[in-house]
Amino acid sequence: MLDPMLKAFIERIPKTELHCHLEGAIQPATLLNLAARNGIELPFSDEAGARKFYEFTSLNQFLEIFALACSTLKTAADFETITLDLGADASRQGISYREVFFTYAYHQRRGISWDEVVKGIAAGREKARQMYGVEMWFIADIDRTIDPQDGVQTVEMAYASRDVAGIIGVGLDSQEIDYPARRQKPAYDRAKELGLHRVAHAGEDVGPESVWDALESLEVERIDHGVRSIDDPKLVKLLVERQIPLTVCPLSNIELKVYPNLAAHPVKRLRDAGVLVTLNSDDPPMFHCDVLDNYFAVTDTFGLSLEEVEDFVRNSFRATFQAQSEKDSYLKRFDETAAELKAELWGM
Ligand code: HPA
Ligand code: ZN
């Protein structure tokens, strides 16, 4: 059982999250409201039904349900609602800084304009900052399966909206099997030219070769998931040498059957090998967990020490796309709060 002191420390220490999808984070109650507001039929009618409905056997099955959640979003007001909700949720968990994905392809397919999406994100982001003091920045994810020309267009739109909606980079998500990262190289070359940060989901549904592909073809700065890198010692060595962060979502990986259980998950082995591993939630309600749950479960399963917990949190602050001076001030606040909590909880 998780030590109650360690649990309190995890709850109260300032944290950051770097792998969370805006559309995958819609809480069931909000989803039901949005569906009612926009006349969308859902295959469940209450919150308990939603929770039960979120059962997956694969990434591709999950993506169908992700698309269903997206179908409830129509107007800028809808995007504002879910962005503000994410700010409230961050505040509840002690997350002071969050980098959040959104995937325009799922909205474009339904005829929603880019401007409608970013207008809502911009408004929700500003309100979240005012109401909760939570800082959120956005990463425009390219759906791996889209036409590479549309990938380039996503980058151009992300760049044009960078100031209005706080878009700091581009990412890659959705179906990993059959859609290698290199397909979207034109988009990533353009993102590099424009000075946008670059990340990609890889090494979740496909093995280490997918991580190599993202690193070599797209020159990404972080890998989302990346857990299957563990199967290639040469790749692990490179991740360590270059300190390329992995945004790991352990409980998501269990729900999507990447690993049968947490004890079999490589999160601790990667960390012990020297990889810069961060802990994240991915699509919280869909995977029946939040950031705290991921910390609790990893701490409990692997018997993490206080120092190891601190290390994971510190890694997340180190891996953000903030300027070094901003990182330093977040880390300073982290160190101060950690010292206060250690004195209060353990008399240290
Ligand atoms: N992997 C791929 N695509 C996704 C994910 C993920 O974890 N979450 C939302 N879209
Ligand atoms: Zn993800």
Give yes or no: 344 in active site.
no
How far, in Å, CA of 215 to CA of 236, rounded? 12
CA of 225 to the centre of ligand 1 (A): 9
Phi and psi (nearest 5°) for 235?
A: -70, -45
- How does residue 101 score in pLDDT terms, banded at 50, 70 and 90? very high
Tell me what the mean pLDDT of segment 52-77 comes to. 96
Kindly report the pTM of this predicted structure.
0.98
Ligand 1 pocket test: pick from 283, 287, 294 the residue with the most ligand atoms within 8 Å of its Cβ: 283
Q: Give residue 67's pLDDT.
A: 98
Q: What digits encode the pLDDT tens for the residues 223-242?
A: 999 999 999 999 999 999 99
pLDDT the model gives residue 331: 97
Token code pair at residue 241: 């040498």
pLDDT digits (tens, 9 = 90+) for 294-311: 999 999 999 999 999 999
Average pLDDT on 248-275 reads 98
Q: Label residues 69-106 b or e (16+ Cβ within 10 Å = b).
A: bbbbbbbbebbbbbbbbbbebbeebbbbbbbbbbbbbb
Q: Give pLDDT tens digits for 167-219.
A: 999 999 999 999 999 999 999 999 999 999 999 999 999 999 999 999 999 99
Q: What is the pLDDT of residue 33?
A: 97
What is the band of 106 on the pLDDT scale with cuts at 50, 70, 90? very high
Rg (CA), the chain: 19
Residue in 80, 116, 135, 204 annotated catalytic: 204
Question: Measuring from each residue's beta carbon to the nearest atom of ligand 1, which residues come in under 6 Å?
Answer: 21, 24, 59, 66, 173-174, 201, 204, 252, 282-283
With H, G, I as helix, E, B as strand and everything else as coil, classify residue 132: helix
Q: What is the pLDDT of residue 240?
A: 98
Q: What is the pLDDT of residue 276?
A: 98
